[in-house]
Structure 1
Amino acid sequence: MKEIIEGFLKFRKDVYPAHQDLFKGLAHQQSPRTLFISCSDSRLVPELVTQHQPGGLFVIRNAGNIVPSYGPEPGGVTASVEYAVTALQVTDVVICGHSDCGAMKAIATCACMDSMPAVGSWLRYADSARIVNQARHHNSERERIEAMVHENVIAQLANIQTHPSVRLALEEGRLFLHGWVYDIESGHIETYDGTRRTFVPLAEHTEVCATPVQFATAV
């Protein structure tokens, strides 16, 4: 905790004065153009990876970068998605998985969740990705885990399209979906090409998005 407090004091002394106009402008309004949904993993910092300042991204973080499909009892993720799309009118949604994801590793290796029942229940929202991944051949456990990370991004892209606010925005052509997988060690990002239904390097395919993908079912 000492390091966190020291960090705040450094922010107040050095960082805030250098960006005072920015923070004053954000004091009573925000207008981010992108909803960024990522894992809570401490190694993935959306603002750092995308080089965005405060106010640039509307961020949702949770275990496994999961978006529950829309239901009669909406939770915090559902409410945040609805607010971003309807109130803030974001134009893009990025669902970003990452390498060495603990949540996806637990699913891919069928790890026992008896000691963490809430985590186990939460990860059920990745069931469609788990079933698809289990049906495919993998040459190693590492390959199985990496594939699970990618399949989960695809599954969450399907889930988010069950949200009424998202479906409306897509139908009106004012929202685009993106599926990313970030590699922690290399800093490389793969993006899901909805037309070709495969992941490609983002650095070489900056115009690619996942929106053209048509999903039959969601979790």
Structure 2
Amino acid sequence: MEILDALMVVFSLETITMILLGVFAGIIIGALPGLTVNMGIALLLPLTYSFQGMTGILLLLGMYCGAVYGGSITAILISTPGTPASAATVLDGYPMAKKGEAGRALGLSTMGSMFGGVFSTIALIVIAPQLAKVATGFSAAEYFALAVFGISIITSVSSQSIVKGLMGGAIGLAIATIGLDPMTAGPRFTFDTVYLMGGRLVYSNPRGTLCIFSRLD
């Protein structure tokens, strides 16, 4: 009964309208390189204060999903992902666009986003309790192993030049250290300026670097 009650709330006219508005705004924000999903949520958050709790949350969820998909548009067309989640789309989408298959690439991205979103939502509902138990059991050793695994992924996506991939990973790690330490809250490489305390370079530099490399190509 609880699921049926939730479905009745979600499929009402008001909530569907809010979801569609959120998706539309998210696609626009995601398609603009430099504007992240977090920025989009921050921009829409004040608008939700006058809404009911469920309506506001669905608006933000629609914006989030739309922004993640919208980032693939610029990733395919100009080799510049609008959001960090769309970085992998550049590997296949941009070469297809250069061959004149931009429409097909965008269609595949749309279908992939739809099926991936539906599947991941269902999977999250089913396995979220188990994932929570695993996450709470993580210690320093598991976090370190996960970080090493993430770094090792670089070699798999940079098979043409592993050295360049590792250099890019090292630069990324160096940039990620800028800002406040998440454990001690101490400043790291902020050079006594408040503008670097939030680690904003982590979001802007990768997309800017991709723009430069795509033009050099």
Name the TM-score class by shorter chain: 0.3 to 0.5
What is the TM-score with the length of structure 1 in the denominator? Answer: 0.32
What's the TM-score once normalised by structure 2's chain length? 0.32
Greater C-alpha radius of gyration? 2
Q: Which has the higher helix share?
A: 2
